[in-house]
């Protein structure tokens, strides 16, 4: 299985809602990532989990809360989002070789709209 899956594909939420994005991979990768991508822009890194521990937080607002329950799963909990948080949220995974994290495998993304 060489796939990264993400659910849901689309999500519409109000500013007072709480929702979660889910990501799963079964490639045995021990690094997992969340990216945010606005229209016609490149993906921007939000968080990195390495061996189920948060290793990078790119100064993301606390209304985004990541969680890595096990080596195959990655969640992004959303609370009190703003309309400007509407974007495509991408999950990725990779495996370290010689302590360097090389090519990443991406899921199809969750298209989030905040009303």
Partner 1 sequence: SQQGEEDPQALSIQEGENATMNCSYKTSINNLQWYRQNSGRGLVHLILIRSNEREKHSGRLRVTLDTSKKSSSLLITASRAADTASYFCAQLQGAQKLVFGQGTRLTINP
Please report, as ranges, the residues that interact with partner 1 according to CB under 8 A. 4, 6, 31, 33, 40-45, 48, 50, 55-56, 88, 90, 92, 96, 99-109, 111
Nearest approach, Cβ of residue 80 and partner 1 (Å): 26
Nearer Cβ to partner 1, position 83 or 99?
A: 99
Q: Find the shortest distance in angstroms from Cβ 22 to partner 1.
A: 15
What whole-number distance in Å separates Cα of residue 45 and Cα of residue 59? 10
Q: Which residue has the tokens 């298209």?
A: 111
**Are the C-beta atoms of 68 and 49 separated by less than 8 Å?**
yes
| Residue 37 C-beta: closest distance to partner 1, Å | 9
Instruction: Provide CB contacts within 8 A for 2, sequence distance 6+.
Output: 27, 105
Gap between the Cα atoms of 76 and 87, Å rounded: 14
- Comparing CB distances to partner 1, the nearer of 12 and 15 is 12
Nearest residue (CB) to partner 1, 67 versus 101: 101
CA distance 11 to 86: 10
When the beta carbons of 69 and 98 are compared against partner 1, the nearer one is 98
Q: Report the nearest approach of partner 1 to the CB of residue 6 (Å).
A: 8
Distance of alpha carbon 82 from alpha carbon 25, whole angstroms: 29
């Amino acid at each position: 299985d060489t796939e990264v899956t993400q659910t849901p594909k689309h999500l519409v939420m109000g500013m007072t809602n709480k929702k979660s994005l889910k990501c799963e991979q079964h490639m045995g990768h021990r690094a997992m990532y969340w990216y945010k991508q606005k229209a016609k822009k490149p993906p921007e890194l939000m968080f990195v989990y390495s061996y189920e521990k948060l290793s990078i937080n790119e100064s993301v607002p606390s209304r985004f809360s990541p969680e890595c329950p096990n080596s195959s799963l990655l969640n992004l909990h959303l609370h009190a989002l703003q309309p400007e948080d509407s974007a495509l949220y991408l999950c990725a995974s990779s495996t370290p070789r010689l302590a360097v994290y090389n090519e990443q495998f991406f899921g199809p993304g969750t298209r989030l709209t905040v009303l």
